[in-house]
A and B are shown apart, each in its own frame.
Chain A
């Protein structure tokens, strides 16, 4: 089946305006008759729930954390892109659009990305109006910095805590609606199923994480804003609780999962220190504005960094990509670091690390300037490693960070299941095969503040409000399914902990479905993951009961889904016999080691349909059509 992204026709720059004109509206008096379920309260979820509440809809907002202020968007450090062109350095909506399409290695929809670039400016205006304290210059104007994959300064930032400040803005707007009574909050609640009635999403099944009660919530539409699945790698920069469960259970109810193999491995993270490690910590990409990435030229050179002279150092990003230097896009910077380490030139005791060195920047600008720009990041680095990055270079290594893949959505952010909308990282739509830095915050907020309020009306205007009540047999069935799943997990009583399985899955994924993928490795993963999954259902131990706080039970449900989505990722990666963005197949590379894309055969979105536990999923294609950019080799040289 060929999928239709339902992109409006006409000139690129007029598509969104025209579409908005044509979308149906719901009258103010009728809005309160509709109930919208929003799952997740990161940037996409909080901004969507707040805005839909402001418009007068009834909103039920869910999050697994104890407060909606804690979605993992909060950890985004560096910034948010917008095409304001305040620095007068040649930026424009078209340039932001073009950079994002190229950054995504020509695997995203033109119309979506252009809309994103257009809305980027509204986001900055909105956030300033909410009181987000962006960095400013001495005249009181907003300041910008540079990020990877761009030759203009278009990134707005709030120290090293931009995600936090943007999320607190959206959270504040959400809290205002809670006070008004349009939004009801459900913290410490985990969505475990979506209820689909006659092909339309009509509600969700949720476990109260405090008392274990499994309940039904009916609505006229469901918005999943539940983030990405990088925790499939066990070690990632995601929060411990970040999971694929909401998205994956929607996939099992018929929503297509698009491009699951597109994962972003972020180049600047603190290297792994030992087997006990529970997560990896990102060091913001903004550090690459002033830090220089290097390894020793000589293999196995284990001397301390200060003993290695400038001539003996290989500033490999500057050498290979002089046009962008240390600000090469993430996928390229990560792969280069991996190659250097694979050649035996990695630093640190494990040999899996490269230096990010601020010595030159400190000499040029003074330590105070560097402290002002990145002080909190240097401090965080010192807390974790015990090392002072003002005196010796940081050690960094790539780590799983973001997933470009996600549930398939059309231009309206609606999945193929009618009434099921997917926003932010949980969908697949805007970043293609690689996301540029400072674009995730932009997308989450564009989806929530400025896209969904329009497109959801187009759907609701065609449906009767309150058409499904939580007494429908489908709700009951969903609840029973979830209760029996809980019972099963608690009854296995095996020998290994949930984390044991998660760690093993992570190793399989990192080794075979990580930064460099081969046919052999992917086939191996497709054997190993089902074996591990089978063992999980025989041998996992989940202590405690189902009727109070049980964090092991929560983890078990999530890991069960990771054990399935990992296989789907490997399958998707195996089928895509080309290299593009974060997906690098070793069989498909240029003589100089750069990615070899295959536009003739793979210029499409691969959307997978679940067909039952014992059957292979079926792939559907959405062809990607480029009318405004030329499909070019993605060069940053």
Chain B
């Protein structure tokens, strides 16, 4: 199939960017979306132009590196799928495709489709962990955890930190990302001890980084390639209120 692409090009963080038109020809339906871009890039190199810069690594939907807004939707049209796992069979001959970077105040563009997501790392640095040193821990079966709690913790912990939730949110909020980590750790007995402090410092970090607030659009859940649920945001809010009561009480 042949496609017309409109791709965001931007030389650097302080440079002005814009959409540029490209042709993608003889694309087969078995190709992944990124393989289609590989083909375009190989052609650009051969005619002496700079290829389109985009983040990608594992190409199996788990590292969270790939980050493109396709036709206005982070990670493109297929539900629960990262860009790298999106295949061209979901497009048809003659389609026009618009490809843009994640857009959010907290994610400055580095070049073309590459953005800086280190703000997410700093939210985790604030307290997204259990403060345990290596060594000196009890036997793994010494503390039992109900299957239900472990499963919910796992549901939340499947977040790949790609930032699609932020890109999808009209407020550029990182609430779903933060809530997933809060929930993961709050579901486990090991994580409960620091739960109150954690929710406060992580929420603070989130605001400090310039992410917006949550106003219940649920766009984040729709865009999430790992199906992280907005119910975790409700849990974050609950944990936050609990923590405030603890502070005053």
Q: Could you tell me which A residues sit within 8 Å of B by CB distance? A: 47, 50-51, 54, 65-70, 72, 74-75, 84, 86, 122, 124-131, 133-142, 158-159, 161, 164-165, 168, 171-173, 175-176, 178-179, 185, 187, 210, 237, 239-241, 273-274, 276-279, 281-282, 379-380, 383-384, 386, 449-450, 453, 495, 497, 499-500, 541, 543-544, 548-549, 551-552
B58 near A239 with CB under 8 A, answer yes
Closest to B111 in A: A549
Let me know if B75 is at the binding interface, CB within 8 A: no
Q: For the side of the interface on B, what is the size category? A: 35 or more
Given A131-B191, A497-B46, 14 additional A-B pairs, CB 8 A: A70-B57, A70-B63, A84-B140, A125-B138, A125-B140, A126-B132, A131-B184, A134-B140, A138-B147, A164-B160, A187-B118, A274-B28, A449-B135, A497-B45
B58 near A175 with CB under 8 A, answer no
Cα–Cα, bound, A179→B153 (Å): 24
Let me know if B42 is at the binding interface, CB within 8 A: yes
What are 21 A-B contacts with C-beta separation under 8 Å?
A65-B57, A67-B121, A67-B161, A131-B190, A133-B153, A133-B188, A134-B150, A158-B154, A164-B62, A172-B129, A172-B130, A175-B128, A179-B125, A187-B118, A239-B58, A240-B56, A276-B35, A380-B85, A497-B46, A549-B114, A552-B51
A552 near B45 with CB under 8 A, answer yes
Cα–Cα, bound, A237→B65 (Å): 16
Also in contact, A159 and B154, with CB within 8 A (given A384-B87, A499-B42):
yes
Cα–Cα, bound, A176→B133 (Å): 10
Min CB distance A359 to B, Å, is 25
Residue of B110, B132, B161, B191 contacting most chain A CB atoms (<10 Å): B132
For residues 179 through 194 of chain B, which have their beta carbon under 8 Å from a beta carbon of chain A?
Answer: 184-185, 187-188, 190-191
A276 near B60 with CB under 8 A, answer no
For residues 101 through 151 of chain B, which have their beta carbon under 8 Å from a beta carbon of chain A?
Answer: 110-111, 114, 116-118, 120-121, 124-135, 137-141, 143-147, 150-151
Q: Which of chain A's residues have a CB closer than 8 A to the CB of B126? A: 179
A541 near B45 with CB under 8 A, answer yes
Let me know if B12 is at the binding interface, CB within 8 A: yes
Closest to B36 in A: A276
Which of A66, A70, A75, A173 is in CB contact (< 8 Å) with B116? A66
Q: Which of chain A's residues have a CB closer than 8 A to the CB of B85? A: 380, 383-384
Cα–Cα, bound, A127→B190 (Å): 11
Q: Which of chain B's residues have a CB closer than 8 A to the CB of A130? A: 129-130, 132, 190
Closest to A185 in B: B121
Q: Which of chain B's residues have a CB closer than 8 A to the CB of A240? A: 56-59
Let me know if B7 is at the binding interface, CB within 8 A: no
Min CB distance B28 to A, Å, is 6
Min CB distance B62 to A, Å, is 5
Residue of A86, A139, A278 contacting most chain B CB atoms (<10 Å): A278
Cα–Cα, bound, A69→B138 (Å): 26
Let me know if B32 is at the binding interface, CB within 8 A: yes
Which of A72, A129, A210, A282 is in CB contact (< 8 Å) with B137? A129
Also in contact, A131 and B130, with CB within 8 A (given A70-B65, A125-B139):
yes
| Inter-chain residue pair count (beta carbon < 8 A) | 214
Min CB distance B180 to A, Å, is 11
Q: Which of chain A's residues have a CB closer than 8 A to the CB of B32? A: 278, 384
Closest to B64 in A: A70
Closest to A138 in B: B147
Let me know if B61 is at the binding interface, CB within 8 A: yes
Let me know if B53 is at the binding interface, CB within 8 A: yes
Q: Could you tell me which B residues sit within 8 Å of A by CB distance? A: 11-12, 28, 30-32, 34-35, 38-39, 42, 44-46, 48-51, 53, 55-65, 78, 80-81, 85-87, 89, 110-111, 114, 116-118, 120-121, 124-135, 137-141, 143-147, 150-151, 153-154, 157-158, 160-161, 184-185, 187-188, 190-191
Chain B contact residues: helix, strand, loop or mixed? loop
B134 near A54 with CB under 8 A, answer yes
Closest to B89 in A: A386
Cα–Cα, bound, A136→B188 (Å): 12
In the A-B complex, the 8 residue pairs with the smallest Cβ-Cβ separation, listed nearest first, are: A140-B144, A172-B129, A129-B137, A133-B154, A133-B153, A128-B140, A273-B30, A549-B111
B141 near A497 with CB under 8 A, answer no
B141 near A142 with CB under 8 A, answer yes
Q: Which of chain A's residues have a CB closer than 8 A to the CB of B160? A: 164
Q: Which of chain A's residues have a CB closer than 8 A to the CB of B48? A: 543
Cα–Cα, bound, A75→B30 (Å): 22
B153 near A74 with CB under 8 A, answer no
A131 near B57 with CB under 8 A, answer no
Which of A172, A278, A543, A551 is in CB contact (< 8 Å) with B35? A278
B125 near A74 with CB under 8 A, answer no
A497 near B190 with CB under 8 A, answer no
Cα–Cα, bound, A138→B124 (Å): 31
Q: Which of chain A's residues have a CB closer than 8 A to the CB of B61? A: 380, 383
Q: Which of chain A's residues have a CB closer than 8 A to the CB of B137? A: 125-126, 128-129
Residue of B12, B121, B185 contacting most chain A CB atoms (<10 Å): B121
Min CB distance A486 to B, Å, is 16
Min CB distance A111 to B, Å, is 21
Cα–Cα, bound, A139→B143 (Å): 11
Also in contact, A175 and B62, with CB within 8 A (given A129-B137, A240-B56):
no
Cα–Cα, bound, A541→B126 (Å): 44
Cα–Cα, bound, A128→B134 (Å): 12
Q: Which of chain A's residues have a CB closer than 8 A to the CB of B114? A: 549
Q: Which of chain A's residues have a CB closer than 8 A to the CB of B191? A: 131
Residue of A74, A159, A161 contacting most chain B CB atoms (<10 Å): A74
Cα–Cα, bound, A176→B201 (Å): 13
Which of A54, A131, A140, A543 is in CB contact (< 8 Å) with B146? A140
Also in contact, A543 and B50, with CB within 8 A (given A131-B184, A239-B59):
yes
B132 near A129 with CB under 8 A, answer yes
